[in-house]
Structures are given as structure tokens and as C-alpha cells.
A and B are shown apart, each in its own frame.
Chain A
Amino acid sequence: MYNVRRLVLAHFGFAFASFALALLLGEWQMIVRSPLHAWLDNPEHYYRSVTAHGTIMAYVFPTLISMGFGYAISVISLQRDLIGLRAAWIAFWMVVAGTVLAALTVASGHASVLYTFYPPLIGNALYYIGVVLVVVGSWVWVALLSINLAAWRKANPGRKVPFPMFVNVAGSYLWAWTAVGAALEILFQILPVALGFKTTVDAGLARVLFSWTLHAIVYFWLIPTYIAYYTILPRAIGSRLYSDTMGRLAFALFLVFAMPIGIHHLYDDPMVGSGVKMMHAVFTAMVAVPTLLTIFTISSSVELAARQRGGRGLFRWVKALPWENPVMLALALSFIMLGFGGAGGLINMSYQLDSTVHNTQWITGHFHLIFGGAIVIMYFVIAYDLWPQLTGRALGPLSLVRAQLWLWFVGMMILTLPWHLAGLYGMPRRMAYYDYAHPAVAPDAWTVIASVIGGALLVISGLLFIYILVSSLRRERITPEPYRFSEALHESPVVPQALNGFAVWVGLMLALTLVNYGFPIWELRKIPTTAVPAVYVGGRQ
């Protein structure tokens, strides 16, 4: 692992430790707002926990996984030490410091604003500063990936950028631009108020700026998972990647379409015009394209493996797949969850259908299924796959690994499917308790109890995952084979020039941002009457 072994280990270690903590908070939240628990005497404790859970799961955990995996991809695929190791460590400690700062502020009850900030709600400035530190640390990572790619290009003029590094850098550019929206919101809207320089917030503008980040951040979470689909899975099951070019195109399209679509989160917000919402709906539909390309390419890669192993028939080849292989199992489970989640996503992005599920538990169920399910199960795979390289120890018994993955899948389904149903029944989200004794709410009660059970399975699976990683440290020392990523079925020395660089795609991303966000932001900034008084958490008088 060249010079980054300890670096990647540190990222994964802190990521999964904070993940375990947030997982427990999530289950506690599920229990206290279920019929199994009396109403909380102080609902603020619930929002405190939701803020901590969201901040860790949305900002800290996936960012650290992306960073750690990204460094590993850089050194393995470019076959050279990481340039800027010291900067990478500084960035890591920035993320850690930011996390601790934000977590302590939230834990002390000074920032129960939820991870999406919700201005004009204003918490203690230290919370936002902590989040900014996490983001700035990740920007250092973006810069380091760029620098390492540039150095490699200089040493290898005219050569095709290795596939894993190409998609890795594409993902990092997506994140760099995605995070700008929330950064603008925090720096120009929230922090001046939290620090006491201003007492009003332009809540509409703040929401538009956050939507800039809010949807594409999901794709930032998704990128390591997709990279694992393309670069780990085919090699792990003894197959090859069906098409290198198609893979590059999928990531290039994510770069273009993932970000300028966030206003579909604001369909019910009055300050954005209907035409603007229409434009965002059109491009939200487009972002399904790279996902469909991915499903096609990966399914084809999997079919190749099956046919090599003697699989026959139109669908019977599925039986010939190496199901005992945890990577194969995780991919199938991930695809199932992606399928359900994607179908729900199509409903959310449709203006009229969205109005029936907006702000209900459906939405919370949806993003838990996509992120917690389809995405996080592949984070487990990434950690399992890299673990022997990072620790020099063999990974624990595969039967336990398979059990952990199954448990995660079953738990996630039991958690999220009833959760969707509760939303369809009309149960609103972001509530600390519900009056289940009321006849209008009583039919929802079983769905929340089911979700508590699903959540408990997830806790068991999450702790089992940590146990497998930690216990393997006591297993026999091995010298792992040099790590390699999947190779393409037809390994060609060249790709179309546009798919060997980022100019076209970054250019399109910036241009579409201007087209889709330029007018609403300019207009909301211009109108002086849209500022509203801040509402301070803890009600400063």
C-alpha cells in the first residue's frame, strides 16, 4: 500500500467508529418515537440526537470513507507513493477536530438544528465551524488527488489515465463543487448570525444554496460504492469489467448531472419559480442515465463470470455465480436496495407525486434505503477488501462476513419498507413523538415498531462488522498479494480524449449550474424583503 497504509487505516478507523456511535443514536431515536416508549419529557433530546446522527452519517462517515478509499486508489492505480502525505494527515486531523467540535456542541444542546441546518434556526457557531473544518479537510483531499494525477500524467505523457483513478478524481471534483453551496450558506448566511453580526437570515436563499449541496452530496456518498462496483467486484468474482469506456462515461455524466438538480428538494417552496423547478426535474431525470449505464455494465460483467463458470440460459446463469463470495453477495443485496430506493426516487423527483410524500416519513425511509442500504453495504465491502492490505492480517471467517451482510440487508428492508408506508399514511417527519392512541395515528403504530426491529438488526450487523475487523487483527499475519483493481474485458491503450480528462465535464457542470441556479440565486439576493429574524436554539433573549 505504498506510503498510505497508516493514513487509510486512520480514515477507516475513525469513520467506522463514528458510524457505530451514530448507528446507536439512530436506533435510540427509532425506539423513543415508537409506541414502545413513553413520550420523551424533553423532545429537545430527540433533536439533539437527530442532529448528531445526521451530522456523522451525512458528513463525517462518507467523507472519511471517500478520502481513505481515494488515497488508496491513487497509490494503487498510479503505482506510486502519494505526493503530499503530510498535507493528507493535516486534512485528516482537520476532519477529526471538526467532528469533535461539532459533536460536543451538539451534545451540549447548543446546536439542535439538524444536519440540514434549517435556517432561520441558528445554533452555536462552533457547530458550523466544526462542519466547515470537515469540508475544508475534504477539499485538501480533492487537491491532493489532482496533484497526484497531474504528476502521474507528467511522468506518463499521452498514456490513458487508469480507470480507478479517473473515476476517483471525477468523484472528488463533484464533491468540491457540490460542497460550495452549503459553504456559501454557512459563510454568508448562517455564521454571521451565529456569531452575532446579524440577526436576520434570508431563509429562502439559504434553502436554495443548501439544495445545491443537498442532492449532489448523495452522489458523493454513492461514488465510492460505484467505484467498488466497477473496480472491486469484477476482479473479486474472477471476471472482467464489461466496458471501461462506458464506466468512464457514467462517472462523467454524474459530474454533469448530479449537482444542478437540487431544487427538486424545493418543489414545495414558494420562492422558486415553476419553470426553474421544471428545469431541475428534467435534469433529475437525466441523472438516472449513469445509474442505468452502471447497472447494465455491472450486470454484464457479472454475467461474464457466470458464463465462464458454465452458466447457461437466459437467466439460469445467475445460479452459476460465486454466491459464497461476500463481494458477490453484497453486490446483489446492494442492487436490490438500489432498485427499491431508485423506484422511490423516481416518485420523489416527479412534481405531482412528490407533493403526496413531501416531508413525510417516506423521505426518511427513502434516503436510509439508498444511503444506509445500497451505499453503506458496499462501504463494508471496501473495508473488507482492503483490510488484509492495511493490516497484514487475513480477514475473519467468511461465513461471519456473509452473515453480517445478510443481516444488514434484512435489517435495512425491515427498517425502511414500513417506514415508506408510514409516510404514505401521512406521518410527518422530524417529530419527537406521535399520539398513537389517536384513531388517526393508531394504524401507523405497527410500521414504527417494525422499523425498531429492523433498526435493532442493523445495530447487531454494524457491531458484528466492527467485531470482524477488530478480531481479524488477532489472526495470523499474512503477506497479501499485491492489490489490483479489475481489468476491462477489452483493455485498450486509448480512450476518447474527452474521457481521459475532465475539461468537458467540469465545463458542462459549471455551465449547467449557471443555467439552473444562476437566476434563482441572483433574484433572491436582490430582493431585500426576504430576510427573516433568526430563531436561536436555546432562545437567546
Chain B
Amino acid sequence: MSKVGLWAILAVVAMVLVGGVIGFVWLPRVVYSDQGFFAAWCSAFGVPRSWAAFGERPVARISSDVVLTHELLGHPQPADVGHGATLAMRCAMCHGPTAIRYANSPNLAGQYAVVIYKQLRDYQSGMRASAIMTQMAGSLSDTEMRQLAAYYASLPRPTGSELAGAAPAVVKWGAPMRNIAPCGSCHGDIEHTMASPWLKGEPRAYLRTELTAFASEERHNDIDAQMRAIAQRMTPGEIEQAAAYYGGEH
């Protein structure tokens, strides 16, 4: 090997040693001087450790015990949809025979299966409270909830024709400086995200009630408080505009 090569290797080895001593010995000992050498050393390497030093792990207020994944509902068969249709007869009283626009209860036709399934589970577990729905969902088995979800997801959505006028700012753009994401970026106009319901055509009164309930934390089954955080920052005017837009009344 030529001299240049040898010097290059020696120089790089020296740099590794100097950098290593600074990064893995000296700085950790200074920065984490109170935790002993071994802990400091692990920290420099990035070995994970328990952050909390206060014994008992704090218990968060759980908003829902449904873990949503893209495989949650698998691939429903036609028979599931059929069973779901039979089960749905008891729902028609409030949600309507076509599951659209009936008695200011939410539309279910064409709603994402994951959304219906999660809400039924939350009613059953008490994470979402409703004098009527808690009773209705209480007796359903997990399979029945999946079948109901599959049935409603298979129905045609309310058509967009009842939407009048342009989307208000809060739907299109949100409010960046108040950390309000656009409604449309999760609920279907622009993008939709897991567990967010399709909102177009939902009754205005229902949307207003739910947004207000999120804002007051009366409703709290939204994962990581996402909707509560948004609804609390919305003005009453924005709540009204969003409800009116999706409800199709201006």
C-alpha cells in the first residue's frame, strides 16, 4: 500500500477515535452526569429506556378502545351484507328505510364501514353516550356490528345535488394560525382519513349538535382528541357554516 493510502486510513481512524471519545464518553458524562456512566453511554448510542421516572405509569383517559387498522374488517361477503340488512330493520325507525335524511339522525347509507363499526363499539362500551344508541348497540355481537357496517357501506350515498354554494373557508382551508385543519382534508372533499365519517348530506342539526358536543367534551370518543381539539377552536359561526355546508342548507 502506498504512503498516501496508509496516511488516509490512519487519519480516518484517528477521527473516528476522537469523535467517538467526544460523542460517546465525554459529552454523555457531562450531560447525563447524574445518571451514572452506563445510562449515559446507552443514551449516547440511542438505546431506548424508560423516560418516566415516577414509578406508576400514568393512566390516560381512554377515548375509545377500538384499534383501527386497514385490515380491521377484512373483506365482507354478500351474506354479511344480507345479514346486516336484516339487522338494520330495527335501525330504520330513526335512520330511515334508505338510511338517508330521516328525523335528523345521521345518514348511514354509504358511510365507511370502519366508521359505523367503531361508533357501534363505542356505544356498546360506553365511550360514546346516547340514551337510545347505548341500548340499541348493547345487545349486538361483534359479528353483528361488522355485518351492519358492511350493509350500510354497501348502500348508495346521498347524492351531492343537495349541496348548494361554495364550501366555506373552514371546510376548504381550515384556519392555519388556529391549528384548525380543513374539514375536507379528512372528511372526504379533499382527502379522507381512517375513521373519519363521510359528511356530505348529513343533517345540519346533527352536525351542529356533535360539533358542539365535541367542543364541550360531552362527546369524547375521538381518537387522541382530534375532533375535540378542532371543535374547541372553531367559532360558533364556523360550526354553523360547516354544518350548513355539509347539511346542504344555506
Instruction: Identify the A interface with B (CB < 8 A).
Output: 39, 41-44, 199, 249, 252, 256, 271-279, 282-283, 286, 431, 433-435, 438, 440-441, 496-499, 503-505, 507-508, 511-512, 515, 519-520, 523, 527, 533-541
Q: What 0/1 readout, one digit per residue, does chain B (1-42) give for beta carbons within 8 Å of chain A?
A: 111110011001001101110111001100100000000000
Residue B175 at the A interface, CB < 8 A?
yes
Also in contact, A527 and B43, with CB within 8 A (given A279-B20, A533-B69) = no
A499 to B5, CA, bound (A): 8
**A279–B71 touching, CB < 8 Å:** no
Asked whether B148 is an interface residue with its Cβ less than 8 Å from the other chain, the reply is no
Q: How far is the CB of A313 from chain B (nearest CB, A)?
A: 36
Cα-based distance from A434 to B20 in the complex (angstroms): 43
- Structural contact, A520 and B175, CB atoms closer than 8 A: no
Name the contact of A273 in the complex, choosing from B2, B43, B113, B192 (C-beta under 8 A): B43
Residue of B at shortest CB range from A537?
Answer: B191
* B14, chain A: closest CB distance, angstroms: 11
Please determine whether B12 and A256 come into contact, CB atoms closer than 8 angstroms: yes
Contact A498 B43 (CB under 8 A): no
Query: How far, in whole Å, are A321 and B31 apart by their CA atoms in the complex?
Result: 53
Please tell me if the beta carbons of B1 and A283 are within 8 angstroms of each other in the complex. no
- Most central of A496, A533, A539 by chain B CB within 10 Å: A539
Give me 7 other A-B pairs in contact (C-beta within 8 A), A42-B190, A43-B190, A539-B194 excluded: A279-B19, A282-B19, A497-B4, A498-B1, A498-B2, A508-B8, A541-B192
Main secondary structure on chain B at its contact with chain A? helix
Size of the B side of the interface (Cβ < 8 Å), in residues, is 45
Could you tell me the distance between the alpha carbons of A279 and B18 in the complex, rounded to whole angstroms?
9
A411→B17 CA distance, assembly (Å): 45
- Chain B 40-73, CB-CB to A under 8 Å as 1, else 0, gives 0001111110000000000000000000011100
What's the nearest-Cβ distance from chain B to residue A264, in Å?
13
Q: Are A275 and B71 in contact (CB under 8 A)?
A: no
Does B112 lie at the interface of the complex (its beta carbon under 8 Å from any beta carbon of A)? yes
Bound-state Cα–Cα, A520 to B45, Å: 8
Contact among B16, B18, B71, B173 with A199 in the assembled complex (CB-CB below 8 Å): B71
User: Which listed residue (A256, A274, A434) contacts B43, Cβ 8 A?
Assistant: A274
Q: Does B176 contact A (CB under 8 A)?
A: yes
Whether A275 pairs with B45 at a CB distance below 8 angstroms is yes
A375 vs chain B, min Cβ distance (A): 27
Closest to A252 in B: B8
Q: A41-B172, A275-B28 are in contact. Are A504 and B9 (CB under 8 A)?
A: yes
Complex: how many Å from CA A272 to CA B47? Answer: 8
> Do A539 and B44 touch (CB < 8 A)?
no
- Name the residue in A277, A279, A497 with the highest tally of chain B Cβ atoms < 10 Å from its Cβ: A279
Task: In the A-B complex, list the 5 residue pairs whose CB atoms are closest, starting with the nearest.
Answer: A273-B46, A278-B23, A275-B44, A498-B5, A282-B19
